[in-house]
Structure 1
Amino acid sequence: MRFELLFFNTFDPSLGRVDKESLPQQALMEMVIDGVKNKEAICGDVDEPKDIKEWKGVGIEGGKVVEIEWEEFRLRGSLDLQWLPSSVRKFLVRWNNLTG
């Protein structure tokens, strides 16, 4: 009696990847500012951030972030720009101490 064992490569490269567009705008924005040391200047309480509709310098249209104007907020730290919502049309962060 003879047995054959076959292995097929069924690895899907998309497994484990996050589709940015499927994430809520709130989650995306919180990830954008995660590296900002004084993010309370934008979102209020760091442990319980306000809804993005209440964030300073953030413009919303149809539930989507379309403008971010954080000029002269004296922000320090880093922005994780890979999470910036694709709906953003205006992004101004001059006169801060940021990297990203």
Structure 2
Amino acid sequence: MTATVALLAVRADEYVPACTTDPERWTTTEPDDEAKALCRRCPLRWRCAREAWETPGAEGLWAGVVIPESGRRRDFALRQLRSLAAHGGYPVRPGYRARRRIAPAGE
């Protein structure tokens, strides 16, 4: 049985995503290729895409998509995540976006 087939055999509510075992690996804006591949095979990818879209200031690797801190690449990544979420059956709230980075107090 391949890894992909094994993942599909696990119910999404019983699956423990790889990002929960080593969260630091997913918070960088330059994740490694293996981390991206793990995200793209995750059965929770669609839900993760919606959470990234709805989380103000989301950065790093979400649902296999790298979200930069700001700029046009961030806007593009968020559009990708919105599309992924909708494709997976997790439509995002209309008009709601996690576009802006939330600045820490005192910044």
- Settle same-fold status: TM greater than 0.5: no
- TM-score, length-scaled by structure 1: 0.28
Q: Indicate the structure with greater strand content.
A: 1
Instruction: Point out the structure with max Rg over C-alpha.
Output: 1
Bigger proportion of residues as helix: 2
